[in-house]
Chain A
Amino acid sequence: MSLPAVVPLSWYLLLSAVLFTIGVVGVLVRRNALVIFMSIELMLNAANLAFVAFARDLQSLDGQVFVFFVMTVAAAEVAIGLAIIVNVFRLKETVYVDEINLLKG
């Protein structure tokens, strides 16, 4: 089986799906808040990849514009999320989410 001349859309989508799934699994199974955070970023970027792929395929700029928005939001989220994690670590000396259970009834 020879490689196609142009990488077809479905390959990008497949990569995006794989990245997203890795992100989901990472969020679900990891205990370290920082790793969970990275996994979330992975999911966001998987979505970005899908957006860009479609934008290219459909010859439309809309998807690329969306990507900029997602990146902006992701940047803000990272800033706040990391701040929270730093504060939690100062308070509890841990970033393992199963040990941060003060609010559990």
Chain B
Amino acid sequence: MSQLPLLWIIPALPLAAVLLNLLIGDRLGKRGTAWLSCGAVWLAFLATVRAVVLLAARPVDDRVVTEVAYHWMKVGDFSADVAFLLDPLSSVMALVVTGVGFLIHVYSVGYMAHDASFRRFFLYLNLFMFSMLTLVLADNFLLMFVGWEGVGLCSYLLIGFWYTRPSASEAGKKAFIVNRIGDFGFLLGMFTLFAWGGSLQFDRVFAIAPHVFAAGGTIITAATLLLFLGATGKSAQIPLYTWLPDAMEGPTPVSALIHAATMVTAGVYMVARCHTLFQMAPISMEVVAVIGAATGLLAATIAVAQTDIKRVLAYSTVSQLGIMFFACGVGAFASGIFHLVTHAFFKALLFLGAGSVIHALSDEQDLRKMGGLSSRLPWTHGTMLVATLAIAGMPPFAGFFSKDEILDHVFTSGHYFVWIAGMLGAAFTAFYMFRLYVLAFRGPSRLTHDAEHHLHESPPSMIIPLVVLAVLSAVGGWIGLPFQHGGHLLERWLAPVFAPDPVASALGETAHAAVEHAENVSLEIALMALSVAIAAVGIAFAFRAYLQKPDLATRLQQRLAFLHRVWLNKYWVDELYDRIVVSPIHRASERLWQFWDVKVVDGAVNGVAYVFEGASAVLRLAQTGFVGTYALFIAVGAAALVLHFLRAVPRPVREDDDLVVREVRNRIDGCRP
């Protein structure tokens, strides 16, 4: 290859922006900081595009570029490099991260314009971009873990960005601690792979895996399940999803970038990256599918009852991530990544739109105090409508193609329960999203007088990213138009990564596919029609319950009081965790503190202090402060020394010794023992 793709420069650009911001940020002012941060991400995007173009120019079976920036450590056989890997999978991720990331950076300039900590915000945001790109472009597990922890740190910093609000710093801590549990799983998974596979480099581990692991064996199952535990932490799946809704305490662009479009998809990316391993462990695949489906449905139902606009979207994110996971769980990795991409577009748009609404209403987030905003915020309204249609799965918007493809794969792979959960989830999604839409933008205004007074459409720096994302949400799904020979554009692009293993493809592909294709098309159309119909029902119901007959919603709420309470209180999962995990740990820590810290550790430290205090009380008596006393000590000491040496070395008697010398000698000999 004549031209190097220069992969290292992609994460290096945001890092450079971080350092510059640290060094001279205070002299740049807000404008300068904004230009610096957005510029760095824009250049990173261009560098990514260039690298991807170079990658695409290569022959299909050679679309892997690795680049070693430097050798990090080398111990015996083990080596870990800061090495970057660009293949179709990481290229898609890098494009999404830099592209959506850039738009959100631009949006943040407008959104955070009045914040006192403007510079700190962009510092964290750039640091996040650096970590995320490291995670995505890493060519080994260790470097991926570095990025993985880095995004976790940035997530914590940005959730607790307004750290003077106790709820924000609590939420930051919660996110960090819950993620730690997942990270621990990831680490253990990594150790397992290293112990048996002998390497942490992706290509080596994947190449060696079929030789050292028995397919479906205990070790590979354990390793993949541990890795998946890491994914459930980062990507907010059962049982570790509880941090994500609380993460909404952060500024809204952060929710869009980190807690919707990019960071939370890291788990999906990791599972897709390790698909070779997961496919060797059918039990793990099954677990991934079931967890994904359960989370998808659970979160969708909770979203129905929430009244905070951002919390609805947060649960929606959890639910959509569940969809991606069950796509991976049934082996449709390409579809999972497809949904990841479209979701990044429309969910980022939804959050940014919500941010625009919150901004316009002077920080009002309660859906019950909105309404009738469509004419007042025309741009926000239009773009939000596109995103809502996209997530609800209405053709021809992006979400329709990806979600439908996944449900189709799930159905044909025979996971009917997962499919039913997915369909139900889709219906709920359509319903709660249009509930949000109707409550915010349609119907009578329920604004407070104050909010009404300050109501204003957002500045262009916020509107332009919305429009770009709306276009992407509308047409982004077309990279995956169904019914194409040999799979759609994205599928073909990802094919080298997710190539089925040679044995299966030799049997299948040619003979199999031709026969099945004909059956599939009619089935696929039927499924498609069904899911559109279900989404339409959800939408219609939302309009009916919240716009045409507002009392219907109240009546339903009373009729289904129990269900409403369960959903409003999020199945009491937080309370459950608090009861069985948090409180016992608190109590145990309290005990340990009382015994170990107070008695043993403090006791040892204070004990040493007491000993010295006592000893010095005695020794202090010698320190009179009179020079004379000290001089006496010196004189006595000197005399003692003289005496000692005289006694120790007896001098032989000489003939010429005179009387005095003899007398002194006799005296000294008298003292000698």
Contacts and interface: CB of A to CB of B under 8 A. Distances in A.
A1 to B, nearest CB: 8
Interface string A63-105: 0000000000000000000000000000000000110010011
A42 to B, nearest CB: 14
Contacts of A1: 659
B631 interface: yes
Contact of A28 (B632, B658, B664): B632
Interface string B611-629: 0000000000000011110
Contact of A10 (B631, B632, B661): B661
Q: Is the interface of B mostly helix, strand, loop or mixed?
A: helix
A1 B659 CA distance: 11
A4 B658 contact: yes
Given A24-B635, A28-B632, A28-B635, A10 B627 contact: no
B658 A101 contact: no
A27 B625 CA distance: 16
Interface residues of A, number: 16
Contacts of A101: 625-626
B635 to A, nearest CB: 5
Interface in A35-84: none
B157 to A, nearest CB: 49
B529 to A, nearest CB: 94
A72 to B, nearest CB: 24
Contacts of A24: 635
Interface string B634-658: 0100000000000000000000001
Nearest to B664: A10
A29 B626 CA distance: 11
A43 to B, nearest CB: 10
Given A98-B626, A101-B625, A8 B658 contact: yes
A27 B626 contact: no
A97 B625 contact: no
B370 to A, nearest CB: 72
Contacts of B632: 28
* Interface SS, A side: helix
Interface string A5-46: 000101101100000000010011100000000000000000
B195 interface: no
Contacts of A10: 658-661, 664
Given A98-B626, A104-B625, A105-B625, A8 B631 contact: no
How many B residues touch the partner, as a band?
10 to 19
A28 B626 CA distance: 10
Contact of A14 (B626, B627, B631, B660): B660
Contacts of A29: 628
B660 A28 contact: no
Nearest to A17: B664
A90 B628 CA distance: 22
Contacts of A104: 625
Contacts of B631: 27-28
Interface string B14-58: 000000000000000000000000000000000000000000000
Nearest to A33: B627
Contact of B628 (A8, A14, A28): A28
Interface string B175-200: 00000000000000000000000000
Contacts of A13: 660
A1 B626 CA distance: 47
Contacts of B658: 4, 8, 10
A79 B560 CA distance: 105
Nearest to B660: A10
B468 to A, nearest CB: 74
A11 B658 CA distance: 9
Nearest to A105: B625
Nearest to B628: A28
B643 to A, nearest CB: 13
Contacts of B635: 24, 27-28
Given A98-B626, A104-B625, A105-B625, 16 more contacts: A1-B659, A8-B660, A10-B658, A10-B661, A11-B660, A13-B660, A14-B660, A27-B631, A28-B628, A28-B631, A28-B632, A28-B635, A29-B628, A97-B626, A97-B628, A101-B625
Return the 3 tightest CB-CB contacts between A and B, nearest first: A104-B625, A10-B660, A8-B658
9 contacts: A1-B659, A8-B660, A10-B659, A10-B661, A10-B664, A27-B635, A28-B632, A98-B626, A104-B625
